[in-house]
Amino acid sequence: MKKFLFLGIAATAMFASCTNDEMVEMNPQSAIGFETFVDKSTRAAEDVTKANLTAFEVYGWRTKDSNTEQIFDAQAVTANAGVCTYSPLQYWVGSYTYDFEAVAPKSGDKGVTVDDSHGASTITFVSDSETDLIYASASKDLSSSDYGTLATATDPVGLTFGHLLSRVKFTFTNGADANSAATITVSDVKITGVGTTGVYTPSTETWAAATATGAVTFASTNITNIVGGNSGATEHKYLIPYDVQNYKLSFKVIMTQKQNNNSTGVSDVFEYTDIALVSSTYTLGKGCSYNFKATFNPGQPIVFTADVTPWDDFTDVTIP
């Protein structure tokens, strides 16, 4: 009989926006310059970090006497070894208040579409579950300065990029005894009903309800021949942070049992489909990481008892 015991969500949520920012410096100058921060999270090759952030897109406005003018419209900015550059340069003018927004990937790439409007921008995102979407905003108030160009350098614009998505992975544990013959290999890990298209509004820091759903598959090459008491994890994917109550999980477990002198052993395949990911409402948080954990229970072990039928009493036989 196949059994699978879910241990639920491991709250290893890395609230990346809370602490431990990393800073990239840019030399101060009278031109408008940028310095970037990328909130820390547990690393993997595809996560956006300070070290591998090479390009982003900037939108910017300046306001004076209730009159707002756009000065940056999808301006490409490059970051190389922590140094940010863009062209053509623009310069600060006193008496204005400046507002900036930045996004990576840029609008038009990787399913990102930016509708830029001062104080009311939106980001439409079609997720491929592989793209780490990040966003930053910043302001600089020069309204108390006299009108005109600046004679002295001002600090660059500090852009702290936050992760707009959630990172999700699955960890499977072999619940068999450590000295048992049973190993497990997990494959075909997939969740369905996932919100794959949504609109993010920076001013309210909220995602609108999903406008499309789909399936996300997780590679599980690290969950192969797991011995009793040990675990393996899938790769992680990026999900739009929605309520996952209606998400369904499917996967396959191959349990193999070998004797010490049997190189092949015997294998059994157990398939699990449309398992509820959670039992009640649970909304993911942007910039947070979630490890869904489950333990495979191999059921009842084969056990033996031993007894020996006693000898009958001796029967006397007379020799003739």
Q: How many residues does the chain have?
A: 320
pLDDT for residue 271? 95
CA distances from 227 to 6, 240, 297 (A): 18, 34, 12
* 291 and 171 Cβ atoms separated by less than 8 Å: yes
Q: What is the pLDDT of residue 147?
A: 94
Q: Which residues contact 88 (CB under 8 A, 6 or more apart)?
A: none
In the block, residue with structure tokens 């910017």? 60
Q: What is the pLDDT of residue 79?
A: 84
pLDDT tens-digit series, residues 144-197: 999 998 888 888 898 989 999 999 999 999 999 998 999 999 999 999 999 999
The three-state (H, E, C) secondary structure of 299-317, written as one string? CCCCCCCCCCCCCCCCCCC
Domains of the chain: 3-11+166-297 (2.60.40), 21-163 (2.60.40)
Q: What is the pLDDT of residue 175?
A: 95
What is the DSSP-derived secondary structure letter of residue 114? E
Structure tokens at 47: 């996560």
Cα diameter, the chain? 138
Report residues of the chain scoring pLDDT below 70.
1-30, 34-45, 82, 261-262
pLDDT for the residue 259: 81
pLDDT of residue 51: 85
